[in-house]
Chains A and B, each alone.
Chain A
Amino acid sequence: MTTIRSKFLFTGLAAVLLSASLPVLANEAYVGYRQKIMAAVGGHAGAIGAIVKSKLPEQDAIAALAEAVAKTADTVPAAFSHALHEGATDAKPEIWDNMDDFLTLNDAMRKASLALADAARKGDPAVVKKAMRDFSKSCGACHRSYRKPKEESYKQRR
C-alpha cells in the first residue's frame, strides 16, 4: 500500500516537474526534433525524386526509402502531441485545434508512401509515376493547412 502510494506520489511529482520544466528545457528541443522529422521525410522524398527523375540504376532503393518515410510518419503523432507553435517554427497553431484532421493527413501520407513502395516493387513505371504524384500531393495536402506559407515562415525574419 505504502509503496503504491509512494509510487503515485513519485510519478505525480515527476509529472509536475516535467510539465513545469518542459517549457523551459524542452520546447526548443521539441521544435527542433519535429523539424528534423520533417527534414527526414523530405530527405527520403528528395532521394526518391533523384532516382526517378534521372532514372538512376537504384530502382530497388525506392521501396526502401518510401518505407522509411512510412516509419518516420509513425513518429509524427507523438512528436506533435505538445502544442508548441511559437518561436522558430512554421507549425500553425491550427494543428492543435484540428488534431484529428492533422493525424488523418499524416496517416494518408504514410499510406501514400507505402503505396509508392508497393508500386516501386512491382516496377510498372506508369504506376510508380502515379504513386509518386499521389505521395507528393499527400505532403502538400497537410502543409496547405498546417504549415505557414513561405512568406510567413520564421526563416524570413533572419
Chain B
Amino acid sequence: MFRLITWVLGLGIACALFGYFVILPQLGREKSDIDVTALKGDPERGAYVLRMAGCVTCHSDGQGEATFLAGGPALKTPFGTFYGPNITPDPDHGIGRMTNQEFFDAVTAGLRPDGTHYFPAFPYASYVKMDGQDVVDLKAYLDTVPAVSKAARRHEIAWPFSDRSLVGGWKLLAIKARSIVPDAGQDNAWNRGMYLVEGAGHCGECHTDRNLLGLPRGPAHGGSPKGSFSSGAPSIAGAKSVIADWTHEDITFYLENGLKPDGDVSGGKMTQVIDFATSHLTGDDLDAIARYLLSLQTPATH
C-alpha cells in the first residue's frame, strides 16, 4: 500500500515537473506570423498611435520631459502592483535597443526580447489585434522622445503570479482572437471603432470582468462588479450598461472632455484615460468609437 502511494505521488510530481519544465515553456509563444521588418515607421503617425493605444497612462509618472514615458505609477491589481517600465529610447533602461520586430513581438505577443513573457498587465491580449504598421509607427515615434536614464521599478507580485513562465498558460487560455476581422455588414466608421475599442484602446482590459486567474469572465465590456477580482470599471455594453441611454454626442463629448451628460465628471482611472488618451483623438475616431459602442447597447425592453 505504502509503495503504491509512493508511486502515485512520484508519478504526480514527475508529471508536474514535466509540465512545468517541458510543456509550459512552449505555451503562449506563438509569435504573430507577421514579419514587420519590411515596414518603415512614420513617427508623426506614431505620436497619434501612442494616444490611440493609451500608452501614456501606465508609462508616465508625471508630464515633464524628465518623466514622460520613463516609467509609470503603481498599477494595483489583485495579483500585485505593477509599474509600467521606461519606454524612452534609453539603451539601458528603455527600449532603445529593440528592433521593430522585437517591439512588435513585445506589443502584440507579450514576448520580451529574451523570449520570456511580459505580465498581462501589459495589455497585449488586446494589442494582439493591432495593425503592424501602427506598431512600427509607434516605435518610430518612441525613438524620437527624449531618452531618460531611469531604471524600471520592480513589480511587487506574490508567488505564484510572479513566475513569468506561468504566463504562457495564461496566454493560451486568455487570448482567443489574434486579429480584428472587419464586419462587412458594417461601415468603415463602425469597423474603425471596433479596432479602437477592442484592439488599440484595450477598453476590455478594465471593463470586462475577470476571474481568479485574471481570465475574462462574463460578457465583453460587461463591467466588473465591486469587490470582484477585477478593476471595478462599470459596464459599457449590454444589459447593465451605464451608458445605455447616452447619445452619440454624449459619448464623443465625454471622451473628449470627461463630462458626463448629467454634468458630473469622470472619476477613477478613466480620468487619466481621458487626459492622456481619448482627449487627443480626432473627431473622426471619437465618432467611430461612439458608433461601435452604441451598437453594443441593448435597447430598452420596457
- Chain A positions near chain B (C-beta within 8 angstroms): 41-47, 49-50, 52-54, 129, 132-133, 136-137, 139-140, 143-144, 147, 149-151, 156
Contacts and interface: CB of A to CB of B under 8 A. Distances in A.
Nearest to B226: A151
A53 B226 contact: no
A144 B279 CA distance: 18
Chain A: interface secondary structure? helix
A42 B266 CA distance: 12
A136 B267 contact: no
B81 interface: no
A158 B189 CA distance: 41
B271 interface: yes
A144 B234 CA distance: 18
B249 interface: yes
26 contacts: A42-B263, A42-B264, A45-B259, A46-B261, A46-B262, A46-B263, A47-B263, A53-B249, A53-B250, A53-B253, A129-B256, A132-B257, A133-B258, A136-B258, A136-B259, A136-B265, A140-B258, A140-B267, A144-B271, A147-B267, A149-B267, A149-B268, A150-B267, A150-B268, A151-B232, A156-B226
A49 B265 CA distance: 11
Task: In the A-B complex, list the 3 residue pairs whose CB atoms are closest, starting with the nearest.
Answer: A46-B263, A42-B263, A53-B253
A42 B267 contact: no
Chain B: interface secondary structure? loop
B108 interface: no
A136 B262 contact: no
Interface residues of B, number: 24
Given A53-B250, A140-B258, A151-B232, 18 more contacts: A45-B259, A45-B263, A46-B259, A47-B263, A49-B257, A49-B259, A49-B261, A54-B249, A133-B257, A136-B257, A136-B259, A137-B258, A137-B275, A140-B266, A140-B267, A143-B265, A143-B267, A151-B226
